[in-house]
Structure 1
Amino acid sequence: MDINIKRDGLTLRGRLERPDTESKCPAVIIFHGFTGDLGYERDGLFQALADLLTENGIAVVRFDFNGHGKSDGSFTDMNVLNEI
């Protein structure tokens, strides 16, 4: 499921993937590296990791930092403090 997170006037875009269960489950947040994105490629590393985790009962949240991937903002405006 695609998700949008509003922060400081920007929309950060992300994805929530849950295991096939209605009960509570642990969750993992995957952060991408410098100049990366949440992993949109079906055969990419982040998607493979998300698939493995959800198959083992763990929910996964991935998102693009501001200025990356499909999130709002400019890459030139990002810094460590606004990424936190």
Structure 2
Amino acid sequence: MSDQLQSTEEIIASALALSAAERLAVLGAIHHSLADPLLDHGPDDAASDAQAAWQAEIAQRAAEITSGDIMTIPAEEAEKMIRSDVPPAV
């Protein structure tokens, strides 16, 4: 194998050639790398930037709920809506 970096397409093709168990291991590693806020997610999205963006999103959503701009529904009602396409009772 060359010392050159592989393209995204080559990496995907290589991953798809793996066994199901090996693909699952790769998937787990990639998922872990995206979910871990301490890992650098690249030059365009450093981990601290991503964490700050999520904190801002959480604060905005909490403020919308507190102010009454949006309404929440019980989980049981949401599950019924998801499973049976029942519109929300507003």
Task: Output the TM-score relative to the length of structure 2.
Answer: 0.20
Structure with higher helix content: 2
Structure with higher strand content: 1
- Larger RCO (alpha carbons 8 Å, 6+ apart): 1
